[in-house]
Every structure is written in C-alpha cells, then in structure tokens.
Structure 1
Amino acid sequence: MSRAFLLIPTLGSIALLGGALLFQYVGGLAPCQMCLWQRWPHAIAIGAGILALLFPGARLPLAGLAALAIAIGIAIAVFHAGVEWDWWEGLTSCSGSGSALSGMTGSDLLSQDGPLGVVRCDEAAWVFLGLSMAGWNAVFSLFLFGFWMRAVRTA
C-alpha cells in the first residue's frame, strides 16, 4: 500500500482539527456541543493514521477504524448542518428548541449564576460560499473518507 493513502487523510484530519481550533482560539468563535462532537472522529483518525504509518502490520484494522470514525463524523456534520439550516430539529440541549425555558421565572432568566456564552447548535457561527463550518467539515470529510477507503482496499 502506498503510504500516501495513509498520510493524506491523516494530514487532512490534522488540518480540519487544526482549523477548528484556530477558529476557536484565534478567531474567537466558541464551538457548540455538536461542533465539539465533530472533532472526535478526526482525533481518532489522526491517531489511527499515525499508528498505521508506524506499524505496517496493523494497517488494515487501523485504516478501517479511521474510515469508520470519519463516516461517523460525516453523519454528525450533516446532521449539524441540517439543524443550522432548519431542515430538521436539533437536540433540545443545544438548540434551544422544545421547552428548555418552560418553568423559568424572570429572575431565573436574568440570573448570572448559570453558564454564560452558551453557543446554540442551530445558528451557524460562520458561513463561506453558503456552507457553514459543519457543512464544510462534511464536504472535506467525504474526501478523507475516500482516501481511508482506498487505504482499506489496498492494505
């Protein structure tokens, strides 16, 4: 198997995860809960890719693990983008839908004892060419998934 089919998707996940961290820590865009969930598959793929490069005998299961992780990441990203575009309802714990405010008094709503700066999952914090960060993550992850599947087939 060509090491490129391991190296390219590993570096791709490093770039996507690094970009998310740059948007957060340099750009000041705090992530929502689903944004954080989308980071885990890339972290798993990075770890699996590095191990597959270091241990050639374990390439098949590690490339398979990375492909599965990225596939799950794509599903999360597509779901998240759909929530942002109001195609379907998101999780009540992070989109503010449902009855999250029912039973709260005015003083509860004005209290500063709770978490400040909670980021909603149903509002895109950044959009480029009509796609949010979740949408772009889904698009780029599809390409990475293709490389991982090629790595699995040639292992």
Structure 2
Amino acid sequence: MLLLAALAALAPIFARASEDLFGLAPCELCLWQRWPYWAAAALALAAAAWPRGRRVLGMLAILAVLASGAVAAFHVGVEQGWWPSPLAGCQAPRAAPGGSVEDMLRAMSTRPSKPCDAPAYLIEGLPVSMAAMNLLYALGLSALGLILLRKGAKA
C-alpha cells in the first residue's frame, strides 16, 4: 500500500511540476482531478499503517483514484466538445443584463484561468492531453492497487 500511496501522491506533484517546468496552465477541471489523488495517498498510508482495516482502506484508496479518473474522463469530454463544463471557472464571465464593463471586470477571477475545453499537451505531436493521460494513469494505478490488495503486499 505504500507504493500505491507514493504513486497516488506523484500524480498531483507531477501536474504541479508540469506547470512550473513546462509552463502548462491548469484549468479548473485540472485542479479538481488532483484532490482525489491526495485522498487516495492518505487512505493508502492508513491502510499500510492499520493492517486490520487494510482491505477497506485500500479499496477506498482505489475508489479515490478512480474518482480522479472519472473527473478526467469528464474533462476529456469537455475538451472534445461532447458536453460543456458546468464549472463557472471553465467559462467566460457574462455580464448581467444592464451591467457595466466595470461590473463584468469585478466578476472576473483574480487568478488567470485557462478554459477547460482547451487541452494541454505535454508532448508536442502526441495527441493525448494531460486530462487523457490522467485518465490512463488512474486506470493503471487502480489496477495496480487491486493487484497489491489481492496479493496482500505490504509494500
């Protein structure tokens, strides 16, 4: 379970590093995908520390990883234009009827935001967005977690 905890924590750390090292800007859905990994890392650590609750905590950790994968799958759909994002941070602010430009500027976020339907690509020429990579990572990590649980590995 320690391996699962480390690999779960690695995902949001890598995402943050890609912002700093490669200049990739996250959108609101990108940020949402990170939280379940932190929960998975904490649950996997708890599973490693508490052998009696290992199976339940391990399964909860795997479900948390899959939750990030579900957000990633939704994000891929937004990127592909299959559906719009319901998150306000993913959309341009709209002025209220009769509102002034100043009202619209006050409604804007103070933090620069990237639209959720604009994919970020880590590897130029590879048509797999960061959201799609996260989906693949979540599926692989959850499968590894199941294998670790099944084998009863303490690692």
* TM-score of the two chains, using structure 1 as the length reference: 0.80
Q: Aligned letter for 1:57?
A: R
Partners of 1:14 and 1:46 in 2: how far apart?
Answer: 6
- Give the equivalent residue in structure 2 for 1:132: 129
Query: 2:26·2:113 contact (CA, 8 Å) conserved in 1?
Result: no
Aligned to 1:150: 147
Determine the structure 2 residue equivalent to 1:40: 35
1:71-150 equivalence runs, <5 A: 71-96=66-91, 100-101=94-95, 103=97, 104-109=99-104, 111=105, 114-116=108-110, 117-128=112-123, 129-150=126-147
**Distance across 1 between alignment mates of 2:57 and 2:87:** 35
User: Is contact 1:63–1:152 with CA below 8 Å preserved after alignment?
Assistant: yes
* Counterpart Cα distance in 2 of 1:154 and 1:101: 57
2:45 equivalent in structure 1: 50
Q: For residue 113 of structure 1, report the CA deviation from its aligned partner.
A: 7.5
> Unpaired segments of 5 or more residues in structure 1?
1-5
User: Quick one: distance in 2 between partners of 1:95 and 1:101?
Assistant: 16
Give the Cα separation in 1 of the matches to 2:115 and 2:35: 19
1:60 paired residue among 55, 72, 92: 55
**Equivalenced residues, count:** 148
Question: Taking structure 1 as reference, are residues 85 and 102 closer, same or farther at Cα in structure 2, changes over 3 Å only?
Answer: farther
